[in-house]
Amino acid sequence: MNNGSMRAVGVIPAKRQVGVLSHDFPKIAKDKDVKVRTIEVGICGTDREICSFAYGTPPDDCSYLVLGHEALGEVVDGGNGVTAFKAGDLVVPTVRRPCPHHRCVPCAADRQDFCTTGDFTERGIKMKHGFMTEHFVEEEKHLNVVPQHLRDVAVLVEPLTVAEKALAQVWQVQQRLPATNGKESLAGSGKTAVVLGAGPVGILGAMTLLIHGFKTFVYSRSPVPNAKAAVVDAIGAQYISSQEMPVEEFAKLTGPVNLIYEAIGVADVAFKVAKILGLNGIYVFTGIPPEQEAVGVEADNLMRQMVLKNQIILGTVNADAAAFESAIRDLSTFKQRWPKALQSVISGRYPMEAYRELLLGKSTGIKNVVSIG
Ligand code: BGC
Ligand code: ZN
């Protein structure tokens, strides 16, 4: 069926439908455009939320939105102005595209991850089609080359950028402290980090913290043994089930905590765990909970603690090109250090037709991936 259209997994919000759609074959329209054949696309909580119609917006002129923002592809062709890529290169695209306003300094500086107007777009999420289809076209500057030896794991680059952007900010913010270890590769040595949640963002976050030298704990719901706990223990972090050990007891085990990396998207738990953050600590939120009924927070205690302990809570979303570069570099280190554990983060590869179980069914496994070509 290659008559100018191809298959894509998408949503039609007005009809509350999710399915395999027919989508126009993309064209190279500008000099700097690169045409990419999609190899595989990871699925995350954001995609599942779009499929519940709580999030996500199709392009202005379209009734549907093609899903997928965690992609790996192979370059097939390019416009005359393309210099950095050649056919056969493996590439991972970034997600966010700049807003059109000249007054937005971050967007003008290719830092749309800090867009000030909110009018940015995101491929597969907000007003731009995603990558869960056979081919896509993207401007050269939004693509990152991946070495061939990372082909089997490179679909993890985008979810890993969450940790990379977070850590880049942690180093910056903690420059406020005298005698910090700075930005060098083992800046976490002698320090303790807690990762909240053992999904892909949590596990990839734990790997990142470990290679920077942090003593790392992962605190997550499921009792042991379970597949996620096995990966966590295999990389040399320590998995603790929150069902088996309450926060107070967990705090005794960890000792003073310098950094908490939240990757769970549940506010109730995230705020309860805040009490274990130590002096001068930093707490990074990466989860995006759906809008819900209010939950109780020990607000006075939290405020008192944050002031008396010089603490920071930092929210972070999206990632810049530098975070993608760091992710590609660190993925290589992970692959060398933990080849089996890294592989097992990818819990399954499925055809497009499996979209229903993957996007609407119960969330299973760690990172599920749609194989396209
Ligand atoms: C994506 C980010 C995006 C965010 C909010 C996440 O799943 O990885 O790139 O900015 O959703 O839309
Ligand atoms: Zn995602």
- 56 confidence band (pLDDT: 50, 70, 90): very high
159 Cα–ligand 2 center, Å: 6
C-beta of residue 372 within 8 angstroms of C-beta of residue 353: no
Strands 192-196 and 257-262: parallel
- How big, in percent rounded to 5, are the helix, strand and coil portions of the chain? 35, 30, 40
AA identity, residue 97: R
Q: Which residues contact 184 (CB under 8 A, 6 or more apart)?
A: none
Residue type at 114? F
In testing the pocket of ligand 1, which one of 95, 96, 114 has its CB within 8 Å of the most ligand atoms?
Answer: 95
Q: Which residue has its alpha carbon closest to ligand 1 atom 2?
A: 318
Q: What is the DSSP string of 307-370?
A: HHTT-EEEE--S--HHHHHHHHHHHHHHHHH-HHHHHHHEEEEE-GGGHIIIIIS---SSEEEE
Average pLDDT of the chain? 96
Place 1 in a pLDDT band, splitting at 50, 70 and 90. very low
What atom in ligand 1 is closest to the CA of residue 161?
8
Per-residue confidence (pLDDT) for residue 184, from 0 to 100: 56
What residues contact 339, with CB distance under 8 A and at least 6 apart?
none
Pairing of strands 70-78, 90-93: antiparallel
Q: At what angle are helices 200-211 and 157-173 packed, to 10 degrees? A: 50
For ligand 1, pick from 123, 125, 144, 285 the residue to mutate: most ligand atoms within 8 Å of CB. 125
Q: Which of 241, 228, 227, 236 is nearest to 209 (CA)?
A: 236
Q: Which residues of 87-108 are buried (b: 16+ CB within 10 A; e: fewer)?
A: eebbbbbbbbbbbeeeebebbe
- Find the mean pLDDT for residues 192-201: 98
Going by alpha carbons, the residue nearest to atom 12 of ligand 1 is: 125
Distance 175 CA to ligand 1 centre (A): 27
Pairing state of beta strands 277-285 and 257-262?
parallel
- 289: DSSP letter: P
Contact present, 216 and 234 (Cβ < 8 Å): no
pLDDT at 186: 78
Residues forming beta bridges with residue 195, ordered by sequence position? 218, 261
Is residue 265 predicted with pLDDT exceeding 70?
A: yes
11's tokens: 């949503």
SS3 45: helix
Pocket test for ligand 1, best of 69, 128, 161, 367 (most atoms within 8 A of CB): 69
For the stretch 292-331, pLDDT in tens is 999 999 999 999 999 999 999 999 999 999 999 999 999 9
Residues with beta carbon inside 6 Å of ligand 1? 44, 46, 69, 95-96, 122, 125, 317-318
**Minimal-distance CA residue to ligand 1 atom 3:** 318
Distance 251 CA to ligand 1 centre (A): 31
What is each CA distance from 103 to 85, 98, 100, 120, 343, in whole angstroms? 31, 12, 9, 13, 44
Write the DSSP string, 275-286.
GGEEEEEEEEE-
Q: What is the pLDDT of residues 212-249, one digit of tens each?
A: 999 999 999 999 999 999 999 999 999 999 999 999 99
Amino acid found at 190:
G
Beta-bridge partners for 91: 73, 145
Q: Specify the residue with its C-alpha closest to ligand 1, atom 11.
A: 46
Nearest CA to ligand 1 atom 9: 318
Helix (H) or strand (E) holding 227: helix 227-234
How far does the centroid of ligand 2 lie from the alpha carbon of residue 125, in Å? 9
Among 43, 46, 107, say which to mutate for ligand 1: greatest number of ligand atoms within 8 Å of CB. 46
Q: Is the whole-model pTM more than 0.85?
A: yes
